[in-house]
Chains A and B, each alone.
Chain A
Amino acid sequence: MSGMDASDPVLVAVGVTVEFGGIRALDGLSLEVGRGSITALIGPNGAGKTTFFNCLTGIYRPKSGDLFFLPGDGRTIPLTLLSPDRVTQQGIARTFQNIRLFNNLTVLENVLIACHCRMKAGLLGALLRDSRTMREEREMEEYSFALLDRYGLGGQVNELAKNLPYGEQRRLEIVRALATRPKLLLLDEPAAGLNDRETEDLAGLIRLIRDELELSVLLIEHDMGLVMGVSERIHVMDYGKPIAEGTPEEIQRDPEVIRAYLGEG
């Protein structure tokens, strides 16, 4: 297992608090994600997991607290002031709990759009189609195709995203996120709505991505089979606060976790 070294985090959250009206969706959340690890974030519905992703990706601004991203080149990037597109440019990509593909565009175009921030062509390039623009365009098409082909969507490049079966839509969302060339990949319930076989494939895909692309994965998931199977470290939260942290074995034995999941019932 690479990157289990806790002293080398890729992401650090310190006391992040988010409020909606009177509701505290996040209540002083602190956690670290180890570089190169697959880390899971679990907790009951409404615990604030998606809210945490939205803070990381610039959609919500926390009321207090800090978020730092360490891409691995020595920089420490504070995330709380960045807009969503800047966050992506810095190297954090995400998927959405409710699939958000560009439905009326082809699979390939979905991925090409994700290459946006790794391309340079501007208005003049688009209109004049000079050789530099065309070369870039061709390279990105080839890159996108290779990515799709590698991760199991090579046969559907010209299909409209909305016409894909559900499982492949989930997969496309992941591939699209990868095309932004992230250092940290955030997956929000990627197994929701998948059957057992598809969930198994997904576990394989997550491991493959991490190993091949040398990135870190932070995963929100309710499917315990998947969580326990792929993640090396698990954070459990409830009511916007972390309640436990550890390896899958430790978490499965933790009385606090068992109470949060099974208790009161």
Chain B
Amino acid sequence: MTGGIPNANGGVPKTPAKSLRPRLLGLGRGLLSSSFSGLWLALVAFPIVIMRFDATARSIDFLWERLPRLVAVCVAGAIAFRFLLRHKAMGAFRERLSLGASSPKGDPRGRLGRLYDGLSGGRARIPLAIALGLLLLCLPFRSNPYSVSIYTTALIYITLGLGLNIVVGVSGLLNLGYVAFYAIGAYTYALLNTHFGLGFWVCLPLGALAATLLGFLLGLPILRVSGDYLAIVTLGFAEIVRLVLDNLKFTNGPRGIPHIAHPGFFGLDLDKSVKPFLVGRGLLHPNTDLDQVLLYFIVLAVVALTVVCVHRLENSRLGRAWLALREDEVACQAMGVSRWRAKLTAFTLGSTWAGLAGVIFASQITFINPKSFSFMLSVIILSIVVLGGMGSIPGVILGAIVLILAPEYLRFFDDYRMLLFGLIMVLMMVFRPEGIIKATRKVREYKRHADGESGEGAPEEGAPEGAPAR
């Protein structure tokens, strides 16, 4: 009777009472420590939410009326987070317990994964792909100009996401300066176009080439450092690129470069010749320019090409080397993969796509300045990859759509957009680190050779040739 709970029966305490007390105590302690975490969070957020710098009066206002809400949100958030963490831990525990009972082959991918499988695999695949293709082809004609530009932006981000996916998702190299290569692509086109009058189609490969070259030159020295250092060096590099663009006369400094040309279409002026015809038949939204539609299709083609390239790479000798690098660097080298070469190819190729996307971006908005290439953009692209699913092509596409389209349509979040963003990222990292759509590996079918049937005792027949090829 050391428990201290007075027991009416005087006899043996009932088990629930006995186990309830420590549980309640645990709960109380948990609530207390989450509340502390919440207060911490509130303290950190204090300068952002409460203090407001008034630039004209050169003074700082304190918005005290916001304080209670801030504290309440932070504490509630911290408690909810702890609860979710516990929930997750219990889930994992239960799973381990039941592992023996249920079949180990049971689908480990979750409901979303299975749904995705159902949609992408088997019979539904071809009609679904055709329907999706038709939808994507028709989309820009009936949409207003605002929507078309959002679609185009989303496609640009998909390209960026797929490119960075090669570096971060497939090869596991944390590149925080991806935006630098995007900027190089954009400025290559902007400068060549405004100074030398070179067109979009000439500059598209040139911009990609410039970014590739820069990726290669930067990769040569920095890929010798590993892990977190790489993140810091790339981050620094991107800032340097931005500062250089900001300060060079040649790039017009912070004022940027205006009047960049849209892509041409065999020298035709589509909006004069074809547009009235299409609008007359109700085939085109009257406010949408065909220039915009053309750009949409260009990016769509680039995305399609990118998907094919990335998919092929992933299932090739080179791509497997990248995956091995991500999984275990030491083992990767022990398998005869040159670590340095694998890193360099991944880093360089990733930059290529940033360059491509940069050229397209410049031709879309026709005005660029260094502000367009802030660190925040690198973070957004990285989030696309992480949120969508590292190394998963459909995941990255979905991630880009979610992260680019959602904020566009959910303007009312504006002030808290970045905060929300961070919150989602943290939750994802904890509860679904593999991303919305988990990368799946290719399944291969094999038939044993007929003579291998006898199994165990089968002699040399089934044995591979042992002699090295060289």
Q: Measuring CB to CB, which residues of chain A are less than 8 angstroms from any residue of chain B? A: 57-59, 83-85, 88-89, 91, 93-94, 96, 100-106, 108-109, 112-119, 121-123, 125-127, 129, 133, 137, 141, 143, 145-147, 149-150, 154, 157-158, 160, 163, 176-177, 180-183, 212-215
Identify the interface centre among A101, A106, A146, A157: most chain B CB within 10 Å of its CB: A146
A123 touches B312 (CB 8 A): no
B312 touches A129 (CB 8 A): yes
A180 touches B335 (CB 8 A): yes
> Which residues of B have CB within 8 Å of A94?
334
Separation of A88 and B470 alpha carbons in the complex (Å): 13
B residues 318-337 near A (Cβ < 8 Å) are 318-321, 323-324, 327-328, 330-337
Given A117-B336, A126-B319, A137-B316, residue A101 in contact with residue B466 (CB < 8 A): no
B residues 449-466 near A (Cβ < 8 Å) are 452, 460, 462-464, 466
Name the distance in Å between A190's Cβ and chain B's nearest Cβ. Answer: 15
Separation of A103 and B332 alpha carbons in the complex (Å): 12
- What are 11 A-to-B residue pairs whose CB atoms are below 8 Å? A105-B327, A108-B444, A109-B320, A116-B336, A121-B318, A146-B462, A149-B462, A158-B441, A160-B441, A163-B104, A181-B469
Identify the interface centre among A59, A103, A104: most chain B CB within 10 Å of its CB: A104
- Interface readout for B434-450 with A: 1 if CB under 8 Å, 0 if not? 00000101111010100
Name the distance in Å between A122's Cβ and chain B's nearest Cβ. Answer: 7
> Which residues of B have CB within 8 Å of A158?
441, 443-444
B468 touches A91 (CB 8 A): yes
Name the distance in Å between A217's Cβ and chain B's nearest Cβ. Answer: 13
Given A121-B317, A181-B468, residue A149 in contact with residue B336 (CB < 8 A): no
Separation of A102 and B330 alpha carbons in the complex (Å): 11
Name the distance in Å between A179's Cβ and chain B's nearest Cβ. Answer: 8
Q: Report if B345 contacts A (CB, 8 A).
A: yes
Name the distance in Å between B100's Cβ and chain A's nearest Cβ. Answer: 12
B335 touches A176 (CB 8 A): yes
Q: Report if B309 contacts A (CB, 8 A).
A: yes
Separation of A106 and B442 alpha carbons in the complex (Å): 8
Separation of A129 and B318 alpha carbons in the complex (Å): 12
> Which residues of B have CB within 8 Å of A181?
466-469
B327 touches A103 (CB 8 A): yes
> Which residues of A have CB within 8 Å of B462?
146, 149-150
B336 touches A85 (CB 8 A): yes
Which residue from A57, A121, A154 sits with its C-beta under 8 Å from B334? A57
Separation of A113 and B335 alpha carbons in the complex (Å): 7
Which residue from B335, B467, B470 sits with its C-beta under 8 Å from A114? B335
Separation of A176 and B317 alpha carbons in the complex (Å): 15
Given A84-B333, A129-B312, residue A104 in contact with residue B466 (CB < 8 A): no
> Which residues of B have CB within 8 Å of A180?
335-336
A106 touches B441 (CB 8 A): yes
Which residue from B335, B452, B463 sits with its C-beta under 8 Å from A116? B335
Q: Measuring CB to CB, which residues of chain B are less than 8 angstroms from any residue of chain A? A: 104, 108, 309, 312-313, 316-321, 323-324, 327-328, 330-339, 345, 349, 439, 441-444, 446, 448, 452, 460, 462-464, 466-470
> Which residues of B have CB within 8 Å of A89?
336
> Which residues of A have CB within 8 Å of B470?
118
Name the distance in Å between A206's Cβ and chain B's nearest Cβ. Answer: 14
Which residue from A57, A129, A154, A212 sits with its C-beta under 8 Å from B463? A212
> Which residues of B have CB within 8 Å of A108?
444
- The closest CB in chain B to the CB of A112 belongs to B320
Name the distance in Å between A93's Cβ and chain B's nearest Cβ. Answer: 7
- The closest CB in chain A to the CB of B462 belongs to A150
Name the distance in Å between A109's Cβ and chain B's nearest Cβ. Answer: 6
A101 touches B331 (CB 8 A): yes
A100 touches B328 (CB 8 A): yes
Separation of A84 and B335 alpha carbons in the complex (Å): 8
B466 touches A113 (CB 8 A): no
Given A84-B334, A88-B335, A113-B324, residue A123 in contact with residue B469 (CB < 8 A): no
> Which residues of B have CB within 8 Å of A147?
464
- The closest CB in chain A to the CB of B309 belongs to A127
- The closest CB in chain B to the CB of A92 belongs to B334
Q: For the complex of A and B, list the 5 residue pairs with the smallest distance between their C-beta atoms, beginning with the closest.
A: A117-B336, A126-B316, A213-B466, A88-B336, A84-B333
Separation of A94 and B444 alpha carbons in the complex (Å): 27
Given A101-B331, A129-B312, residue A116 in contact with residue B337 (CB < 8 A): yes
> Which residues of A have CB within 8 Å of B466?
181, 212-215
B320 touches A118 (CB 8 A): no
- The closest CB in chain B to the CB of A54 belongs to B330
Separation of A121 and B321 alpha carbons in the complex (Å): 12
> Which residues of A have CB within 8 Å of B321?
113, 116
Separation of A100 and B334 alpha carbons in the complex (Å): 10
Separation of A114 and B335 alpha carbons in the complex (Å): 5
A118 touches B469 (CB 8 A): yes
* 10 additional contacts (CB under 8 A) given A57-B334, A109-B320, A126-B318: A88-B334, A96-B334, A115-B317, A116-B321, A149-B452, A149-B462, A154-B448, A177-B334, A181-B468, A212-B466
Name the distance in Å between B380's Cβ and chain A's nearest Cβ. Answer: 25
- The closest CB in chain B to the CB of A209 belongs to B466
A104 touches B336 (CB 8 A): no
A157 touches B319 (CB 8 A): no
Name the distance in Å between A108's Cβ and chain B's nearest Cβ. Answer: 6
B335 touches A157 (CB 8 A): no
Name the distance in Å between B333's Cβ and chain A's nearest Cβ. Answer: 4
Separation of A181 and B328 alpha carbons in the complex (Å): 20
Identify the interface centre among B333, B349, B469: most chain A CB within 10 Å of its CB: B333
A109 touches B441 (CB 8 A): yes
Separation of A19 and B247 alpha carbons in the complex (Å): 50
B330 touches A59 (CB 8 A): yes
Given A102-B331, A126-B313, residue A143 in contact with residue B464 (CB < 8 A): yes
Name the distance in Å between A29's Cβ and chain B's nearest Cβ. Answer: 21
Separation of A26 and B327 alpha carbons in the complex (Å): 30
Identify the interface centre among A126, A145, A182, A212: most chain B CB within 10 Å of its CB: A126
> Which residues of B have CB within 8 Å of A103?
327-328
A102 touches B441 (CB 8 A): no
Given A102-B324, A121-B317, residue A150 in contact with residue B336 (CB < 8 A): no
Given A180-B335, A183-B468, A214-B466, residue A126 in contact with residue B324 (CB < 8 A): no
